[in-house]
Amino acid sequence: MDKKRVILMSVQSLLCIVLVVILSAAVIGIYSEGVAEKAQHPEVWVYTREKAADALLKGLPVFILAVATTITAAIMGVKNEFKPVKDVRVTRDLTVLRVKEQSEEMKAEQKKRKLIHIGGWVLFGLCMIPILLYITNGAHFDRSDAAGLEVVIGALVLNVVPWAVIGIGCLSVAFILVDKSLKKETELARKCPKGTPEAASGVNRLALNIARCVVFITAVTFIIIGINNGSMNDVLIKAIQICTECVGLG
């Protein structure tokens, strides 16, 4: 990867993180101040446009810096090149399809990969249990004891983030091991005698074409039925009502 592109992506990612932190802190501050003002003066509208504008102004320098970084990168000719990613699973499937008969090593690799996949999701699910127990307990979010919003959010972060990180880490490790297993099986399949997959691929292609035709015909049929029974007008009226009443354009 180009060095300039790496620097660009790193700087922009850092600026985005800083902007999110600034805006999140501003939102929490506005809410906390609003709750305190509302307790003293219930009739006062505390969440005003002026407060929102002040909060946005705090993050404006970071946003301008991010825009300037993007413009500078464009002037320097740094582009984000989108290259097709080689799918390991598709490569494995295509390679195995050409194999006349799968070897025992390939079958063992498939069993091991299945166990890794299941194990990763099981560990992820176990890590989600403490999170669910915490967030479903209303006592953790009870602020009747005068605990500030910052205290509640801090406790939430301490009790949720570590388990989430561990769960995502277990799942990531499982995916990495699965990818390695797929690559290994692909290499094993390349060493096996080749068969004639034309018949199987022909059957799969025929079934796929039939499924596409069925879905297309079904979609067209229901569209025609909807136009004839007036459903199209109902949807149009509901869309107009949403725009003019809910969003407030009217």
3-state secondary structure of 142: coil
- Residues 52, 9 share a domain: yes
Host domain of residue 2: 1-83
Residue pointed to by tokens 């025992």:
104
- Residues 181, 208 share a domain: no
- Residues 236, 160 share a domain: no
Distance CA 65, CA 78 (A): 17
Last residue of a domain, one of 52, 83, 114: 83
Q: What is the pLDDT along the chain (250 residues), one digit of tens a residue?
A: 456 666 777 787 788 888 888 888 777 777 777 777 777 877 777 777 787 788 788 778 888 888 888 787 777 766 655 555 567 888 888 888 888 788 888 889 999 999 999 999 999 999 999 998 988 887 776 655 555 666 777 777 888 889 998 999 999 999 999 999 999 998 988 888 876 554 444 445 677 788 889 999 999 998 888 888 888 788 888 877 777 776 655 4
- Asked whether 149 and 35 are in contact (CB, 8 A), the reply is yes
Give bridge partners of residue 194 from the DSSP assignment. 99
pLDDT 10s digits, 116-142:
999 999 999 999 999 989 888 877 766
- Asked whether 193 and 99 are in contact (CB, 8 A), the reply is yes
Count CB neighbours of 110 within 10 A: 16
- Residues 187, 236 share a domain: no
Cβ contacts of residue 103 below 8 Å, gap of 6+?
A: 188, 192
The structural domain count of the chain equals 3
- Residues 189, 89 share a domain: yes
Residue pointed to by tokens 């906390």:
32
- Residues 100, 155 share a domain: yes
